[in-house]
Amino acid sequence: MMKKYSCIIVDDDEIDRLTVLSFAKKFPVLDILGVFESAEEALPFIQKQKVDILFLDIDMPGLNGIEFRKDALEIPVCIFITAHPEHAVESFQIETLDFIVKPLKLDRFTQTMKRIEEFMEIKLKASLFEASIGGDTIYIKEGHEQTKVKLHEILYLEALKDYTLVVTERKRHCVLSSIGNLLKESHFQSFIRIHRSFAVQKQFIQKMNSTEIILNNNISIPVGRSYKDNLNLI
């Protein structure tokens, strides 16, 4: 039986709301529990219903999407869909899986769905890394298997609520540990925290400025306002 994920849609614009709804209906993995035209309308619903995925606009009258997300952090996946790209950095400080700029297109929504399914799969399989060898290798337990990952191959760490993505050029692994706890481990002392959700290794940095860092393969990582002083360590 296919695993289904419950979701809600919150957007004050009727056309945008119906567009997200029509795209979501194309994916059987989504169980659409509700469609709301305001955050105030959605708030009591999520307090009573378990929701896995939140498709959320930002610029709404009354309670905006950013503030609503802060009240809904128990929802594992948040996808912001907005006409205001300037909110991107702020949104990723409150556990955002993806940020889509309107007008929404089906191919972009499909990309987001792939990311959601990948996240849900690794979240299900994730477990603590268990051991290290020679100070430069960790074992990550994924299901019933253990994968050996060399620390010097890890490009960056990305926080996903209670989990952390360990990203190499070849694969993304997930461990059941917060990014803050990982960075306290001696094995991760070479990583620099540049954002609430990201830490990078210095040797992979190609370019940097006050708002972002570019890693190998043109990977862009945002710099959080409260972490800018850490750039002096790079």
Could you read off the pLDDT of 151-187 as tens digits, one per residue? 889 999 999 877 899 999 888 888 888 898 888 887 7
State if pTM tops 0.85. no
Sequence ranges of the domains in the chain: 5-123, 126-233
CA distance 119 to 52: 12
Q: What is the pLDDT of residue 78?
A: 94
Architecture of domain 5-123: 3-Layer(aba) Sandwich (3.40)
Q: What is the pLDDT of residue 161?
A: 76
Nearest to 90 by CA among 13, 8, 192, 195: 195
Q: Which secondary structure element, helix H or strand E, spans residue 192, and what is its range?
A: strand 191-195
Q: Which residues does residue 201 pair with via DSSP β-bridges, in sequence order?
A: 191
Q: Is 126-233 a CATH 3.40.50.11540 domain?
A: no
Residue length of the chain = 234
What single letter denotes the amino acid at residue 69?
R
Cβ atoms 210, 228 nearer than 8 A:
yes
Could you read off the pLDDT of 104-131 as tens digits, one per residue? 999 999 999 999 998 887 776 654 454 4
Of all residues in the chain, what percent carry a pLDDT higher than 70?
A: 90
Q: Dmax of the chain from CA atoms? A: 58
Q: Give every residue of the chain whose pLDDT is below 70, as ranges.
A: 1-2, 87, 89, 91-92, 124-135, 142-144, 234
Residue 232 DSSP code? G
Nearest to 6 by CA among 66, 49, 40, 47: 49
Side-chain half-sphere CA neighbours of 16 within 13 A:
23
Q: What is the pLDDT of residue 222?
A: 93
Q: What is the pLDDT of residue 128?
A: 45
Nearest to 157 by CA among 194, 120, 123, 121: 194
CA distance 105 to 149: 37
Q: What is the pLDDT of residue 89?
A: 67
Mean pLDDT of the chain: 87
Pairing verdict, β 191-195 and 212-215: unpaired
